[in-house]
């Protein structure tokens, strides 16, 4: 007799445009609802995922509010990525008084109110340096969870960008871990494999067949800089007359990671919320004289090429879409997390069926 697979249903807090939800869904986990306070997330989330969207602050929700969305008899997963700007290395002004610290504490509060069988969180590495993360782990352990966290280099999981993230998994079923890349048959890939077949664009141009495949315009000066840039290089490769005044100063010489082209056969740099701007990092296209397009940024975040971010016929607001893409959990990382959770649940399936472990 074939053993029936135990189902997993999930709630995704701080869901954004749906990167984590999409990845979990690819791993066979049924995400029932995503929660976010940003109205720009609603269309991409619902258009690409078979899940509801709740436009509300997590701080205003109770465990009772969210418990109704779980499938009866399923293993319940509470997932989320609390907004990371507070903890990011790019943020030089974060303090203990920042309101966004409380979002992680609200996540912890909801875990205590729901007591789902499994919890996962993805966030920036800098969170490890703050006591709020220790508080989060201690709270989980106090509620009977086995907790693990590790730093993950996204390139190891087949994501074509250098992006190191903190992944936490916690389970009331027993010890849990993230499956290694080799187990999932993942290996490093490149910029060119992700975007090499995209239609050519000029700076400031867009693809009539895909409005998201559009790039920022370049000033005459920045076009000269673009043409003088080498793959994997920096502004230090330019003729002296093209170097910005701020970079000529002693302090500016310590910031080489701007105004550069990506390298075709290597992973991309970390995709930020401003990846569409040539001057915001090494976001120049490897071979074309422009910054990468919005669609190319999404592909480097491992979103499917067909992922919709704006309704058909509506204007593409580059700053808004750039933020959604840059802040997203890479879909392939979400899938690896989901596969790890599914394998963990399968390993405990006999105990669940015999009632030794009982989902609420």
Residue 119: which H helix or E strand, with range?
A: strand 118-124
338: its two tokens: 């989901």
Tokens 């997932």 -> residue: 79
- Is residue 81 part of the annotated active site? The answer reads no
How far is the C-alpha of 238 from the C-alpha of 226, rounded, in Å? 9
Q: Which residues pair with 170 in a beta bridge?
A: 119, 147
Give residue for tokens 């590495």.
125
Query: 322-336 b/e with 16+ CB inside 10 Å = b?
Result: bbbbbbbbbbbbbbb
CB contact set of 332 (below 8 Å; sequence gap of 6+): 23, 154, 157, 158, 159, 186, 302
What is the rounded end-to-end Cα distance, in angstroms, of the chain? 26
Tell me how far CA of residue 114 lies from CA of 21, 78, 342, in angstroms: 19, 9, 20
- 192: exposed, middle or buried (C-beta count within 10 Å: 0-12, 13-18, 19+)? middle
Give the active site residue among 15, 41, 84, 154: 84
List, by residue number, the catalytic residues: 84
């Amino acid at each position: 007799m074939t053993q029936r697979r135990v189902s997993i249903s999930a709630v995704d807090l701080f869901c954004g445009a749906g990167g984590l939800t999409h990845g979990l869904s690819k791993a066979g986990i049924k995400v029932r609802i995503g929660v976010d306070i940003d109205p720009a997330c609603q269309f991409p989330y619902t258009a690409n995922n078979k899940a509801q969207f709740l436009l509300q602050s997590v701080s205003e929700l109770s465990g009772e509010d969210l418990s109704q969305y779980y499938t009866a008899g399923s293993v319940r997963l509470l997932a989320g990525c609390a907004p990371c700007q507070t903890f990011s290395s790019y943020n030089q002004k974060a303090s203990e008084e920042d309101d966004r610290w409380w979002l992680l504490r609200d996540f912890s509060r909801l875990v205590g109110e729901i007591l789902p069988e499994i919890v996962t969180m993805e966030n920036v590495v800098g969170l490890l340096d703050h006591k709020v993360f220790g508080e989060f782990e201690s709270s989980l352990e106090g509620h009977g969870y086995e907790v693990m966290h590790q730093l993950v280099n996204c390139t190891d999981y087949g994501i074509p960008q250098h992006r190191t993230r903190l992944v936490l998994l916690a389970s009331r079923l027993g010890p849990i871990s993230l499956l290694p890349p080799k187990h999932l048959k993942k290996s490093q890939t490149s910029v060119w494999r992700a975007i090499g077949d995209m239609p050519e664009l000029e700076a400031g141009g867009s693809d009539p067949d895909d409005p998201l495949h559009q790039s920022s315009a370049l000033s005459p000066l920045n076009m000269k800089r673009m043409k003088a840039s080498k793959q994997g290089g920096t502004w230090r490769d330019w003729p002296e007359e093209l170097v910005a005044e701020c970079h000529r100063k002693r302090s500016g010489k310590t910031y080489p990671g701007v105004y550069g082209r990506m390298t075709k056969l290597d992973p991309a740099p970390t995709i930020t919320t401003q990846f569409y701007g040539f001057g915001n990092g090494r976001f120049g296209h490897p071979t074309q004289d422009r910054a990468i397009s919005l669609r190319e940024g999404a592909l480097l975040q491992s979103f499917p090429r067909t992922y919709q971010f704006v309704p058909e016929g509506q204007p593409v607001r580059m700053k808004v879409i750039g933020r959604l893409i840059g802040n997203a959990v890479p879909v392939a990382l979400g899938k690896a997390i989901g596969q790890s959770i599914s394998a963990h649940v399968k390993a405990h399936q006999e105990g669940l069926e015999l009632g030794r472990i009982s989902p609420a």
